Amino acid sequence: MKSIIIYYSHSGNTAKVAEILAEHIRQNGSGELIKLESINEPKAFFTQAVQAFKRAKTKIKPIKIDLSEYALICLGTPVWAFAPAPAMNKYLEECKGMQGKDIILFVTYGSGLGVRRCLNIMEKEVRNKGAKKIFRFSIQESKVDKQSLASEVIKDALKNESNLYQHVYG
């Protein structure tokens, strides 16, 4: 089965989780890893936070992928001001082919404020695009370097969904 992981990461935490997820998936099939690259994103924390809070959509480098080719789609972002990063907002707006798909949404975060809200925002977007089953997990930034810990969080999030668990873990 083909899977794809599309993520945004500013300081590398979400990228690490995306890579761990990809490693698991690749043991059982193909797992493409795509990083969203934003164009002209503000560098200052405050501006980034304000934009995210306003649910802004920053320009991203074009991703010409039809998601309908994939059995499993994973989308990851850091939590910014209780919301997804603007690059993920943009991708969620423009992506195509989510109808009837299984989706894994994941976020990394600092304090933990807004994790649920951020995932709710993403879930609403993918539901509007026709996603069938949606699974979510979140990993605190201090845990992303501990590969086994991050793997446990992912395993735990998927354990009640045997099809998906098998898809990721074989």
Ligand X SMILES: Cc1cc2nc3c(=O)[nH]c(=O)nc-3n(C[C@H](O)[C@H](O)[C@H](O)COP(=O)(O)O)c2cc1C
Q: Which residues bind ligand X (CB under 6 A)?
A: 9-15, 45, 48-49, 78-82, 108-114, 141
By beta-carbon proximity to ligand X, the closer residue of 121 and 164 is 121
User: CB 47 → ligand X: shortest distance, Å?
Assistant: 8
User: CB 67 → ligand X: shortest distance, Å?
Assistant: 22
Structure token digits, residue 75:
């989308």
By beta-carbon proximity to ligand X, the closer residue of 102 and 141 is 141
User: CB 150 → ligand X: shortest distance, Å?
Assistant: 12
User: CB 163 → ligand X: shortest distance, Å?
Assistant: 28
Residues contacting 22, CB < 8 A, separation 6+: 5, 31, 33
Q: Are the CB atoms for 158 and 165 separated by under 8 Å?
A: yes
SS3 48: helix
Cα end-to-end distance, the chain, whole Å: 11
By beta-carbon proximity to ligand X, the closer residue of 31 and 114 is 114
By beta-carbon proximity to ligand X, the closer residue of 49 and 71 is 49
Alpha-carbon dihedral sign for residues 109, 12, 10, 64: negative
